[in-house]
Structure 1
Amino acid sequence: MKKQNLRSMAAQAIEQVVEQGQSLSNILPPLQQKVSDKDKALLQELCFGVLRTLPQHEWLISKLMSRPMTGKQRTIHYLIMVGFYQLLHTRIPPHAALAETVEGAVAIKRPQLKGLINGVLRQFQRQQEELLAEFAQSEHRFLHPEWLLKRLKKAYPENWAAIVEANNQRPPMWLRVNRAHHSRDEWLALLEEAGMEGAVHSGYPDAVRLLSPAPVFSLPGFDQGWVTVQDASAQGCMAYLEPQNGERILDLCAAPGGKTTHILEVAPQASVLAVDVDEQRLSRVYDNLKRLGLKAEVKQGDGRTPAQWCGDEQFDRILLDAPCSATGVVRRHPDIKWLRRDRDISELAQLQAEILEAIWPHLKSGGTLVYATCSVLPEENGQQIAAFLKRTPDAKLCTGTAEKPGKQNLPGAEEGDGFFYAKIVKA
């Protein structure tokens, strides 16, 4: 395998996110195919890390360079950021970080700029202490876009700072033990035998947090479907859905299939239909079902037009993991901070309302609908459900109160991601 310059690859990926609005989840996997296994993790760390701390690097460049790089030299702007990130946030020896980053200019076909990159990074090393002290007092220190900070402060006047702090950390690694193979305690014993440690979640019976994140192939029985990587809060959906054997269950907006497979682990004799609008992402549903040896009906379809993919069929239970701003999973997907715009929130709330409206007639009388999002914004969560209850007389709320419908999880250092649930029963 030809040796690639990881720093230049990371710089180009970050540029595509920030300048072209592309998602890191789409850009990164093909790039990782080009590098050795041991370099995959470093490439991911550089991309995720720079995007997590982007305002810090923008601010440093504004202090250390008289004018920004533009046009075809723009990638160098992001390469310098990759250099800052290594010096500030990794254990890579500074001389190696410097040398590899400077060499990145050759891979980007800008060898004439090696001296400039070297000069900026060395100047940063000399002034690091006073620059960081000044940054710590600046308005950019929260590492979030202004519009999102404003919304968080409004929604959570008491604990917005804790949410921001959690968003800026690396996420914990949560697993879901497949109860069809082992109890959680049995699998924890196997984990211990493999020399790893896990902690359980008090509220969710299948959830285990790895004390030190590890590659999935090192987990006992991963290939045999004994365990799945899934955040604790996402697993919480089952506590509200409570799927039963023999029921017909719809998992709407199902890709990549984590919740589809969880339904089948909890209720192996349920008949599950998994639907998602994105055909490409549905391939992940098939992959997850295959690895876990489970069967579900999978269809491509738009949640706003259910008659097109299920006729007039009604379901015992519906899990609607609604499309949302993903503001609860920023620590897992730091590019969200730079891909989302303030105007997106009202557009998403409108889409969620349309899907809720369209799917409600497909729930049987006495059936359960669980509305879930990985958002922390009230417009997509409590306010959305309050409005739905107001216009839907046969909808009865089972979580929260009329004033504060649903249950909102906030991201925490050892807890799950930001997530919202509302359980509604049809009269």
Structure 2
Amino acid sequence: MKPDRSPRPSTPTGRPAPGQALPLATLLEHTAHAVAAVRAGRSLTDALADCPPAARPGCQALSFHVMKHLGGAQAARAALVPRQPPAEVEALLLCALALLWPDGEPPYGEHTLVDQTVRCARQRTPAQAGFINAVLRRFLRERAALVPRLEQSDPVARFQHPRWWIARVRQDWPQQAEALLAANQVHAPMALRVNARHGDASRYLAELAGIDLPAIAAGEHAVVLDRAVPVDRLPGFAEGRVSVQDLSAQRAALLVLGQGDERLPEGARVLDACSAPGGKTAHLLELATLDLTALDADASRLERVAGTLQRLQLHARLQAADAGDVERWWDGQPFDAILLDAPCSASGIVRRHPDARWLRRPGDIPELARLQARLLDRLWPLLRPGGRLIYATCSIFKAEGEDQVEAFLQRTVDAERRNAPGHLLPLVDNSIGSSAAGVGDGFYYARLDKRT
């Protein structure tokens, strides 16, 4: 969703009149708060939760744009203002510079944006309003020459990712590195999962066509919309007939259940070890009748799993616990299958979470790899002989995917690798119909069977 391009007048109370959008200056104030929170190490999702409901849609749209152009904005600020300004001033300045960065579809006219940024500054930091005005007007005067120079000299400005992140992508995927970095700058498609208990993709496509929502089928129960819409526009969403879930994420349940002679029997005992927010848990239960335990270390996030299952009228055993702290939650009965969708860098879902690249630090990757290894080692003994463990991460970094699984196989004598996708990259060759519309998120999947 993109905010209205022109600011609207507000009532004397500062609230928008009925039918009117919030002034851009107000949205910029909330956006600057959110950007400052991300730079301080807080997720954008959490920061946006603090935003007043009336401002949240516009603030989210602006914040996403800023996150996608923050590398260039930081480089421009350093070039124009070598001495770092106070945090609250810098956050607003970075927002404006990111929104003024050359882009195919700028969210506002440049003069409107400068005017409203200065108006916001007069409210936030009155003494700095003139300084911000001067910096932004200088950027507009010098932009045509400054931006190409920054992009040529600074990969952070060129690729809009931290330097260490760029280096890791180049190391792991030397042939696809620039395409992967560019892919994070485009909008992710809105993919749906049709509840198998209520229908399939072909029937749901007909419903969508009836309300003028063009879409394509991407599997028996998967649909990709031509354009994103609010979930309340989706036929049957409230009744649990459809859910929003990325195409790559939809592979998890299929890998856990297997097919043909390898399909899990009805009533199989299954563990979803890191289940929040519940999409994969629900998909498993839509496709089969299972004795399913859904764990998550965060009790508040587990409430989202409960809400998802309630909407879909499905049932699982929910337990708030650290999956690796087995003695505290396991009843001693082995599982037929385990899904370990492990905590990771989220480097494969940056299109949907553009703040992830700025939140992570180089030291996070080895720390996450240690956590993933611990979970693999702790959960493996819970699997019955002949059972399967599906290891998944929403990451394109090999340290969290292929390298992790190879190390596990070397230290685990009764583990056998079976067919699974491995690394899925968010590029056109990982798509339905060879178009950007069907490109799934970056993911990694491995299937590990326990020898009998």
Equivalent position of 1:65 in the other structure: 81
- Does the 8 Å CA contact 2:70/2:98 hold for their aligned counterparts? no
- Give 1:235-254 correspondences, 5 Å limit: 235-242=250-257, 244-254=265-275
2:328 counterpart of 1:308: yes
2:282 counterpart of 1:255: no
Alpha-carbon offset, residue 91 of structure 1: 3.4
SS in 2 for 1:365: strand
Structure 2 distance, partners of 1:23, 1:91, is 23
Equivalent position of 1:196 in the other structure: 213
* One-letter amino acid matched to 1:80: L
SS in 2 for 1:228: strand
- Give 1:122-201 correspondences, 5 Å limit: 122-139=137-154, 140=156, 141-201=158-218
Structure 1 distance, partners of 2:115, 2:128, is 13
Number of aligned positions between the proteins? 410
SS in 2 for 1:274: strand
Structure 2 distance, partners of 1:362, 1:307, is 11
Equivalent position of 2:121 in the other structure: 105
Alpha-carbon offset, residue 171 of structure 1: 1.7
* One-letter amino acid matched to 2:92: L
- Cα RMSD after superposing both structures: 1.8
2:91 counterpart of 1:78: yes
- Does the 8 Å CA contact 2:215/2:223 hold for their aligned counterparts? yes
* One-letter amino acid matched to 1:228: S
* One-letter amino acid matched to 1:104: C
Alpha-carbon offset, residue 301 of structure 1: 0.9
SS in 1 for 2:413: coil
- Does the 8 Å CA contact 1:396/1:425 hold for their aligned counterparts? yes
Alpha-carbon offset, residue 21 of structure 1: 0.6
* One-letter amino acid matched to 1:330: V
Equivalent position of 1:50 in the other structure: 66
Structure 2 distance, partners of 1:100, 1:176, is 41
Structure 2 distance, partners of 1:66, 1:340, is 25
Equivalent position of 2:432 in the other structure: none
In structure 2, relative to structure 1, the CA distance for the partners of 1:87 and 1:254 (3 Å cut) is same
Equivalent position of 2:112 in the other structure: 96
> What is the percentage of aligned positions where both structures have the same residue?
39
Using the size of structure 1 for normalisation, the TM-score is 0.91
2:301 counterpart of 1:281: yes
After superposing on structure 2, the runs of 4+ consecutive aligned residues of structure 1 that deviate more than 4 Å are none
- Give 1:203-222 correspondences, 5 Å limit: 204-222=219-237
Q: For residues 97-148 of structure 1, give each alpha carbon's deviation from its aligned partner in whole angstroms, at most 9, with x where no partner exists.
A: 223222212442x123222222222222222222222233232211111211
Alpha-carbon offset, residue 66 of structure 1: 5.0
Pick aligned residue for 1:393 from 413, 416, 420: 413
Structure 2 distance, partners of 1:14, 1:134, is 25
SS in 2 for 1:213: coil
2:436 counterpart of 1:421: no
Using the size of structure 2 for normalisation, the TM-score is 0.87
Q: For residues 359-378 of structure 1, give each alpha carbon's deviation from its aligned partner in whole angstroms, at most 9, with x where no partner exists.
A: 11111122111000011111
Alpha-carbon offset, residue 285 of structure 1: 0.6
Pick aligned residue for 1:227 from 231, 242, 251: 242
Structure 1 distance, partners of 2:275, 2:265, is 18
Pick aligned residue for 1:7 from 14, 28, 31: 28
Equivalent position of 1:117 in the other structure: 132
